[in-house]
Structure 1
Amino acid sequence: MKKYLFYILACGLFSSCSKELEEHPKSIAAEVFYNTPAEVEAGLNAIYIPIRGTGAFGALYQCQLEIYTEYMYGRGSHAPLNDYKGLDNTNITRVGGMWTLFYQSIRNANIVISRTPDGTQLTGEQKAKYIAEARCLRALWYFHLVRNWGGVPLRTETNIDSINLRRAGQQEVYDFIVSDLKYAEENLEDVPRLQGTPSKWVAKTILTDVYMNLHQYGLAKTKAAEVISSGKFSLVEVAAADDFDKIYGPEVVETPEEILYLKYSRTPSGQGFELPRYAHYPGAGYFPPGGYYTFYSDSEENLFVKQWDKNDLRYQFNWYSQTFGLGPTTILNKKFSDRTTTTGAGNDFPLYRYADVLLFYAECVAQDAAPDADAMEKLNMVHRRAYGKPSTVADPAIDFKLSDYSTKQAFIDLVVRERAYEDCLEGKHWFDLKRLGIAQEVIQDMLGITMQEKQLLWPIPTDEYNYNKAIDPNTDQNPGY
């Protein structure tokens, strides 16, 4: 049974002083906290807590992002997402809650960044690495904010008490993110502080993703190459579909493919991963406590799924047939399953895997110049694994051939498709479609739906502009809301 001490430690240390930390973060930190390594590490652990919950990466964030893709549909209160006309009131409230959780984690990071330099029992090296971890995570959460909302208020360690903050421009937010990540890259250690915390390689991986979103593909290629050439990561080999549980299963503690995962555990109470509850049908056997089957697909009616090669072990691992009144070809996703739990699921959630970096690199080579043999090899490593073949051994029967995808666009389209297969239910494909500017085209081609422009960004929450008077709901709101 997996247990992660740093979450228990964070909860334990903060349970008796959470009220004071929320109401008087500066006075409490200055008087009794952020002086010793244990105190600062407890503060670091608190950065992870808000975004791990059900309202964010614990379940609902992935639901929202996955239902937007061309291969998934939403049920119940998520059904309006299928129309691609923007958010109804229920979903506006839901994503507003995500905004709050991201900023709660950013606030906790800002406290660490602000107070650690004054720590009386910390060395300079300790201060630098602790601040680097907080800045790496702050950058990551701002990266998610800017991709979903565009420009957002930049809450930092220097304006920690300010309520009224203007909406920063999108480029300004990205510049801030890059600055944080460069500091993290320089000051984080080679090995993470604990499982599920960032190392310098995590900072390089996030920088790769950020540079790709800025269309700075040469810089992104360089960072991805540094992670690959480090030799610290490798793909987990599989021979059958069920072997993918060696990556995603509830008993997995750590793998050589793991770059940054959010860690979950069945025990203690409240530490479980809740996405399986939203994914599965009650009684299907993949999550015994029950399920909401919030999202689903169709093996025949959905063109993307229908075209997916059924010999691909990822298809077999991801989908199972389940009828509940929507037709005999209805399927649900089983990537994250815990068949023995009686509480929450023990699966960890992969923010970044080595497979992502290989596919990042392959695309960046093509985007920066033209596809080459090295880029195709990185793509084929992931593709071979998908068919149960050794990832590093050429296989003419399985491998894509560069001559068949020699043009830039053909190769990029291939990478994007392969990444969609690889990262199904990991909340990543929608961001690829937006980054490449093809979301509306893909939804039209695959689903026959004309996506409204407002679908591409979420609205600034009412709670934000009700209290933040530097944001005007009439002029600062995203289009269509």
Structure 2
Amino acid sequence: MKTLNKCKAYKKIGKLMFVAAFMGLATSCNDQLKEEVFNFYDVNEYFKDTENLDMAVNGVYETFSNISTYGQYWMVYDTDTDISHIQGASIGHVARDLGHYNAYATHSWLQESWQLYYRGIDRANTILERCGDVTLKGEAADTIKYKKLVAQTKCLRAMCYFDLVRLFGDVPFKLNASKDGDDFKLPKTDRNVIYDQIFKDFEEAIPDLQWRDAEERINKGAAMGLLARAYMFRGGYSLYGSGLVGEMKRSDNYKEYYQKAQTVLNELVDSNQHGLLSSYERVFRNMCEQVYDPFENICEIAFFTPTGQPLGASVMGTYNGPSIAQTSIYGRANSFIKTHHFFYDTYESGDLRRSVAIATFQISNTDAATNTTSEIPRSKSYTWAPGKWRRNWHTGAVKDNNNTDVNVVLLRYSDVLLMLAEVENELNNGPTAKAIECVNQVRRRAFGLPYKTADAVRDLKVTDFADKNAFFDYLFKERARELCFEGGRRLDLVRWNLLGKAIMDTKTKFDEAMASKLFGKYSFLAGERYTAGKHELYPIPDYDIRETKGLIIQNPGY
């Protein structure tokens, strides 16, 4: 394990500014003043060696190391579900509107994310067009570095498009770098065509990536795991159509994509390059202590802010952690992402993950001597918060009340195991011995046991499940218990076509708890506002529909 010099990585990212986003710039002026610019690189001269190529690739990574994507907004894109919700039972607030299913086409966060993803795509397209200009030094190490950087660029482009199609469905599709004179008024492309390119980018990248990388970069295991995830989403449900109400559909040949995922996941597991740490808590303490260890956290998005400013920062632990007073030595945490005891109660007694994942407390006082941790009563469990990145675990200096240097985890090995269990169950019409072993490895670690050693007490058996549906129901709950608040729950529910059911079941629990006086007065607003056939996707930003003069058709219901 090692702590990355994030400051060095951040400075490298900041050096590259040679292209603009292609979307959101749909109009141009032909009569431009010609003036020599000194603070931008000339793209025709830039790609001369692998050092400059390295800086260019860092410019694409910047897409994800941003408040407008994984630094903050993605936390809200992952709510409201059966396990989390945005604090506050009202709308009219930028985050609550998205979380409580009051999304609209003029929402600034959606526009910012959209533009940032397309900027990343255009940067990647530029690199892939111009990487042939690079002069290699003739050393084997330089050739390896070159191939790795090109491979990472393909992965990053695939990741941008993968997020776009999961959030928005069919979107404009472009594989060439933008230049003067281009027609930026592009219509939507069928998401399944885009998925084919996502697969192609990942598949081409994998052979040239290393199993481990000294920096927080895309490695071979990450590309394989993300490819498998993309296969599973392609084989899952998605919202199609336009007009007032869309239709949730999956392709007739969806199992072909599960089979592809199975192949990749088996190869990744059999490689023995990744595994589980002995302690579930240590996974997240490492992140809070800025210790980079890709053994379990196969892919992390790196964040660093030199002085606390938003650029390069995340809000991990402040926005999605327990509430901490502004005067605390730990720094403030405004705690906007919340959970509840309905999710807490899905953990078995003795499951060590529960006390890590869910913070049932808040910290209220001011200094080392008087910092007070107070428990929040069960009657107000709707104010309990994610605990994985709690600010009182952070070891770095407090630079800002909101912004932190804590990374976002994009793929953990436990997710790989649970994906493999899911595809085994789907393809074999019920759990196999391999599927059971996958969930048992996750389960053993959850109870503090060596994860590869069979345990007669805690291990599950094939005969514990009546059929495929019974095992899926276990996976439905286990993915939440293991991976909660890591950014994937709402989209998992969409690909299973269970988002509406999960929301309505949770609303029923809220209503019953209040009716029986077990809860204070609180409305789970998602249950009142969610509309099937609409809210499985976000609206296409209004700006892009307007600037393309309606060539882009709005998603159903908006």
TM range (shorter): 0.7 to 0.9
2:502 to 439, 442, 454: 442
Residue in 1 that maps onto 2:520: none
Residue in 2 that maps onto 1:205: 225
1:169 is aligned to 2:229:
no
User: What is the CA distance between 1:113 and its match in structure 2?
Assistant: 1.0
User: What is the CA distance between 1:266 and its match in structure 2?
Assistant: 6.1
Indicate conservation of the 8 Å contact 1:250/1:337, yes or no: no
Change (3 A) 1:248 1:4: closer
Q: What's the % identity of the aligned pairs? A: 25
Residue in 2 that maps onto 1:73: 85
User: What is the CA distance between 1:269 and its match in structure 2?
Assistant: 4.7
Residue in 2 that maps onto 1:119: 134
Indicate conservation of the 8 Å contact 1:58/1:273, yes or no: yes
2:534 to 454, 459, 466: 454
Q: Aligned partners of 1:284, 1:407: CA distance in 2, in Å?
A: 51
Q: Aligned partners of 2:495, 2:75: CA distance in 1, in Å?
A: 18
Amino acid of the structure 2 residue aligned with 1:71: I
User: What is the CA distance between 1:88 and its match in structure 2?
Assistant: 4.7
2:332 to 266, 281, 290: 290
Residue in 1 that maps onto 2:516: none
1:137 is aligned to 2:137:
no
Residue in 2 that maps onto 1:182: 203
Of 211-220 and 338-347, more deviation after overlay is shown by 338-347
1:281 to 298, 323, 327: 323
| Structure 1: gaps of 5 or more residues | none
Residue in 1 that maps onto 2:66: 53
Q: Aligned partners of 1:11, 1:307: CA distance in 2, in Å?
A: 42
Q: What's the TM-score, normalizing by structure 1?
A: 0.88
1:309 is aligned to 2:351:
no
Q: Aligned partners of 1:162, 1:182: CA distance in 2, in Å?
A: 30
Amino acid of the structure 1 residue aligned with 2:44: E
Amino acid of the structure 1 residue aligned with 2:463: S
Residue in 2 that maps onto 1:320: 359
Q: Aligned partners of 2:64, 2:183: CA distance in 1, in Å?
A: 22
Residue in 2 that maps onto 1:151: 170
User: What is the CA distance between 1:320 and its match in structure 2?
Assistant: 1.9
1:337 is aligned to 2:390:
yes
Q: Aligned partners of 1:350, 1:121: CA distance in 2, in Å?
A: 33
Q: Aligned partners of 1:103, 1:418: CA distance in 2, in Å?
A: 34
RMSD between aligned residues = 2.8
Residue in 1 that maps onto 2:75: 62
User: What is the CA distance between 1:13 and its match in structure 2?
Assistant: 2.6
User: What is the CA distance between 1:282 and its match in structure 2?
Assistant: 3.0
Residue in 1 that maps onto 2:103: 87
Cα-to-partner distance string for 1:210-268 (whole Å, 9 max, x where unaligned): 11112211110110011111111110002xx7444345332322241121111234646
Change (3 A) 1:253 1:73: same
Indicate conservation of the 8 Å contact 1:250/1:345, yes or no: no
Change (3 A) 1:306 1:285: farther
Amino acid of the structure 2 residue aligned with 1:458: Y
Higher helix share: 1
Q: Aligned partners of 1:294, 1:380: CA distance in 2, in Å?
A: 33
Change (3 A) 1:159 1:12: closer
Indicate conservation of the 8 Å contact 2:124/2:153, yes or no: yes
Q: Aligned partners of 2:144, 2:282: CA distance in 1, in Å?
A: 41
Aligned residues: 464
1:372 is aligned to 2:437:
no
Cα-to-partner distance string for 1:177-224 (whole Å, 9 max, x where unaligned): 1111111123334443x4221222222111110111122111101100
Residue in 2 that maps onto 1:10: 12
Instruction: Output aligned runs, 1:15-34, within 5 Å.
Output: 18=17, 21-22=19-20, 28-34=41-47
Instruction: Output aligned runs, 1:260-275, within 5 Å.
Output: 260-265=299-304, 267=306, 269-270=308-309, 271-275=312-316
Amino acid of the structure 2 residue aligned with 1:342: V
Residue in 1 that maps onto 2:449: 389
Cα-to-partner distance string for 1:76-121 (whole Å, 9 max, x where unaligned): 523345644x41577x322221111211222221121111112234
Indicate conservation of the 8 Å contact 1:2/1:265, yes or no: no
Q: What's the TM-score, normalizing by structure 2?
A: 0.76
Residue in 2 that maps onto 1:221: 262
Indicate conservation of the 8 Å contact 2:296/2:412, yes or no: yes
SS at match of 2:71: coil
1:195 to 215, 224, 234: 215
Which has the larger Rg? 2
SS at match of 1:112: helix
| Structure 2: gaps of 5 or more residues | 22-36, 236-256, 363-375, 509-526
Amino acid of the structure 1 residue aligned with 2:483: D
Residue in 2 that maps onto 1:103: 118
Indicate conservation of the 8 Å contact 1:46/1:108, yes or no: yes
Residue in 1 that maps onto 2:56: 43
2:469 to 409, 421, 438: 409
Of 125-134 and 381-390, more deviation after overlay is shown by 125-134
Cα-to-partner distance string for 1:428-468 (whole Å, 9 max, x where unaligned): 11111111111112222232336312111001101222333
Indicate conservation of the 8 Å contact 2:80/2:100, yes or no: no
Change (3 A) 1:406 1:349: same
Cα-to-partner distance string for 1:5-35 (whole Å, 9 max, x where unaligned): 6623424533xxx3x54499xx945433111
Of 265-274 and 340-349, more deviation after overlay is shown by 265-274
Of 401-410 and 114-123, more deviation after overlay is shown by 114-123
Of 153-162 and 177-186, more deviation after overlay is shown by 153-162
